[in-house]
Amino acid sequence: MSVPLTLLGLLEREPSHGYDLKRDYDALFGRGKQLPFGQVYATLGRLARDGQVAAGSAEPGDGPDRKRYAITETGRHVVDTWLAEPVEPEPHLQTVLFAKVTLALMLGKPAAAYLDTQRAAHIRRMQELTEIKRTGPLVDTLLADHALFHLEADLRWIDLTSARLADLAEAVKTR
């Protein structure tokens, strides 16, 4: 799961304080595991250093950090690239793919097209693995089989998610 990119994506909705970001992240992507405050502020610090977010001046208050963070043009570009690029097809991608689809729907970006790109990357990898099975020794075939079954599971999830996008978009927007 890519925490920095997901936080950056959340910031594309509207400028936020670190606390609000953490709360939204935990609710949407935490799956029962909370993001430590320290990690949120360290991440925001790195994103600011890299020019992907801009920190406003501190507001009066008690919190550890009362700055409001806003995404920059560079940051928007980074989010767009991340969403549109397929993830390297390897097993156990569910959290990354889930975060990308959810953010894309939230930001009104073409989630269906992203899923199509991901499907294409998966199929290409499955073709490569099948070629290994066709030409390689049996031991390689066993490893290729394992990867193929996991990629197939991803693909079925991609297909089902594609079919559910309209309902998902509603669910994400009404949060």
Partner 1 sequence: MNSPAATSGRMIETRHVAKNFGQTFALRDASLCVAQGEILAVMGPSGSGKSTLLHCMAGIYTPDQGEVLFDGQLLNTMTEADRTKLRRTAFGFVFQFGQLVPELTAADNVALPLLLNRTKRKVAYKTADTWLDRLGIGDKGARRTGELSGGEAQRVAVARALALAPKVIFADEPTGSLDTLTGEKAMDLMTGLAREQGTTVVIVTHDARVAAYADRVVMVRDGLLTPADLPSSPAGGPYGTSAPATASATAAAKGMN
Nearer CB in complex with partner 1: 44/151: 151
Nearer CB in complex with partner 1: 74/130: 130
Report d(CA 17, CA 151) in Å as an integer.
38
- Residue 98's nearest CA partner among 81, 33, 87, 108 is 87
Residues in the chain, overall count: 175
Shortest distance in whole angstroms from residue 152 CB to partner 1 = 5
Query: With the C-alpha atoms ordered 29, 30, 34, 36, is the resulting torsion angle positive or negative?
Result: negative
Residues 80-119: x where in contact with partner 1 by CB under 8 A, - otherwise, as a string: ------------------------------x-xx--x--x
Q: Which residues pair with 16 in a beta bridge?
A: 69
Does 123 participate in binding partner 1 (rule CB under 8 A)?
A: yes
Shortest distance in whole angstroms from residue 169 CB to partner 1 = 14
Return the exposure string of 82-106: e unless at least 16 CB atoms fall within 10 Å of the residue's CB, then b.
bbeebbebeeebeebbbbbbbbbbb
Shortest distance in whole angstroms from residue 168 CB to partner 1 = 16
Per CB under 8 A, residues contacting partner 1 are 110, 112-113, 116, 119-124, 126-127, 129-130, 133-134, 148, 151-152, 155, 159
